[in-house]
């Protein structure tokens, strides 16, 4: 099984004719994702050549959803238009919206987040690599070739570290159920707890890797959730341990304020919750194997 996307996913691409949208639409279609529609205002009635399929283009998400039954949207539009694109997808009844766009203003997200929630949709992102259920469906920019089907779930704030850890898991034969990049902006649609809860409920997932970074308190909240609610092993890693105090490193959300949001605070919270924390990305696989072996012995 998987979380959020599977073989029933019918994908709509907002910004399908742009540089990034067109490139990644072909990548997603080649992976096997059912890309059923694209949206570019003013280009309705045209089609997009995605290789094995020609994708119809619509002027609005509402038109595309009504005509094709799309149930997931992925957004590749410039930051200036990303907020409107996310809200348009939710208003059209799309239950899962994935925004790849980076640089979306935080003020825009203060409007988008409650709008998405009030319309009963789930948002992943913005500023994220999306998600992939290996061998089944890919929504976003995670390279399909580094993933393999298996029983390990992965959730990460860092796109690059998602790729690094997934590749290491695959190389030692530890396949994945779903890999989710939630993004590192201060306001995003889906957090660690949302993904951890979904992995806990997924019978095919036997363990979870959680990759955090400095800034905010999401990892501390997730650690409490693991301690109180999860029965499956969780392995952690925190990026940014060497970041200078008060400095933003990488993502807009990676800001340390006083003692809040430091790597040390997050590592301590996770350790207290019984989550083994790797010192380096290369240590994730050995820690995961130890925890899986321990679970089997019990």
- The string of pLDDT tens digits covering residues 104-141 is 999 999 999 999 999 999 999 999 999 999 999 999 99
Mean pLDDT for all residues in the chain? 93
CB neighbour list of residue 185: distance below 8 Å, 6 or more residues apart? 104, 106, 109, 125, 126, 127, 251, 252, 253
| pLDDT at residue 52, as a whole number | 80
Query: Which pair of tokens denotes residue 84?
Result: 């409107």
Report the candidate in 186, 131, 177, 176 with the shortest Cα–Cα distance to residue 156. 131
DSSP 247: -
To the nearest 10 degrees (0 to 180), the angle between helices 106-118 and 79-91 is 10
- Mean predicted confidence (pLDDT) in 243-265: 63
- Mean predicted confidence (pLDDT) in 289-295: 81
| pLDDT at residue 1, as a whole number | 75
Q: Alpha-carbon distance 97 to 209, whole Å?
A: 23
**Ranges in the chain annotated CATH 3.40.50.720:** 10-124
- Count other C-beta atoms under 10 Å from residue 54's C-beta: 11
CB neighbour list of residue 163: distance below 8 Å, 6 or more residues apart? 129, 142, 143, 146
Q: Alpha-carbon distance 265 to 261, whole Å?
A: 7
Beta strands in 81-206 (DSSP E): 96-99, 122-124, 130-133, 137-140, 149-156, 176-181
- What confidence category does residue 291 fall into, taking pLDDT thresholds of 50, 70 and 90? confident
Residue scoring higher pLDDT (159 or 259): 159
Name all contacts of 81-86 with Cβ < 8 Å and 24+ positions apart: 82/108, 82/126, 83/108, 83/109, 83/111, 83/112, 85/14, 85/15, 86/112, 86/115, 86/116, 86/123, 86/126
- Start-to-end Cα distance in the chain: 24
Please tell me which of 24-38, 247-261, 281-295 the model is most confident about, judged by mean pLDDT.
Answer: 24-38
Question: What kind of fold does domain 142-297 have according to CATH?
Answer: Rossmann fold (3.40.50)
| pLDDT at residue 207, as a whole number | 97
| pLDDT at residue 194, as a whole number | 98
Q: Alpha-carbon distance 111 to 125, whole Å?
A: 14
Q: Alpha-carbon distance 31 to 286, whole Å?
A: 30
Report the candidate in 296, 3, 280 with the shortest Cα–Cα distance to residue 168. 280
- What confidence category does residue 251 fall into, taking pLDDT thresholds of 50, 70 and 90? low
- Mean predicted confidence (pLDDT) in 182-195: 95
CATH of domain 10-124: 3.40.50.720
**Where do we find the tokens 């790597």?**
263
CB neighbour list of residue 256: distance below 8 Å, 6 or more residues apart? 214, 215, 243, 245, 246, 247, 262
pLDDT at 294 over 80: no
| pLDDT at residue 275, as a whole number | 96
Q: Alpha-carbon distance 153 to 198, whole Å?
A: 10
- What confidence category does residue 175 fall into, taking pLDDT thresholds of 50, 70 and 90? very high
Q: What is the pTM of this model?
A: 0.94
Residue scoring higher pLDDT (295 or 63): 63
Rounded to the nearest angstrom, the gap between the alpha carbon of residue 78 and the centroid of all alpha carbons in its chain is 19
Q: Which of 24, 138, 157, 251 is the catalytic position?
A: 251
pLDDT at 31 over 90: yes
Cα-Cα-Cα-Cα torsion 157, 159, 165, 166, nearest 10 degrees, comes to 110
Q: What does residue 163 show for φ and ψ, rounded to 5 degrees?
A: -60, -45
| pLDDT at residue 197, as a whole number | 98
Report the candidate in 297, 213, 223, 198 with the shortest Cα–Cα distance to residue 261. 213
User: Is 251 tagged catalytic?
Assistant: yes
Length of the chain in terms of residues written? 298
- Mean predicted confidence (pLDDT) in 195-221: 95
Residue 46, helix vs strand vs coil: coil
**Ranges in the chain annotated CATH 3.40.50.261:** 142-297
Q: Are 234 and 207 in contact (CB under 8 A)?
A: yes
| pLDDT at residue 37, as a whole number | 98
């Amino acid at each position: 099984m998987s979380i959020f996307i599977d073989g029933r996913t019918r994908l709509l691409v907002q910004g399908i004719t742009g540089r990034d949208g067109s490139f990644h639409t072909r990548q997603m279609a080649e992976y096997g994702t059912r890309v059923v529609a694209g949206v570019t205002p003013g280009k309705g009635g045209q089609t997009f050549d995605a290789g094995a399929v020609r994708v119809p283009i619509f002027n609005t998400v509402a038109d595309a959803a009504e005509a094709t039954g799309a149930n997931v949207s992925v957004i590749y539009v410039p930051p200036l238009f990303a907020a409107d694109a996310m809200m348009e997808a939710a208003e059209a009844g799309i239950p899962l919206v994935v925004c790849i766009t980076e640089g979306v203003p935080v003020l825009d997200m203060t409007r988008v987040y409650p709008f998405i929630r009030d319309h009963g949709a789930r948002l992943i992102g913005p500023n994220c690599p999306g998600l992939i259920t290996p061998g089944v469906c890919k929504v976003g920019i995670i390279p399909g070739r580094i993933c393999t089907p298996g029983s390990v779930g992965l959730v990460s704030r860092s796109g690059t570290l998602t790729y690094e850890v997934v590749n290491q898991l695959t190389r030692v034969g530890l396949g994945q159920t779903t890999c989710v990049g939630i993004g590192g902006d201060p306001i995003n649609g889906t957090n660690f707890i949302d993904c951890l809860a979904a992995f806990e409920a997924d019978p095919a997932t036997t363990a979870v890797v959680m990759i955090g970074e400095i800034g905010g308190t999401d990892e501390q909240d997730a650690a409490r959730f693991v301690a109180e609610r999860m029965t499956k092993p969780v392995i952690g890693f925190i990026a940014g341990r060497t970041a200078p105090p008060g400095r933003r490193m990488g993502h807009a959300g990676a800001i340390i304020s006083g003692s809040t949001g430091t790597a040390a605070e997050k590592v301590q919270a996770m350790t207290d919750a019984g989550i083994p924390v790797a010192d380096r990305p290369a240590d994730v696989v050995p820690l995961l194997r130890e925890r899986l072996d321990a679970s089997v012995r019990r």
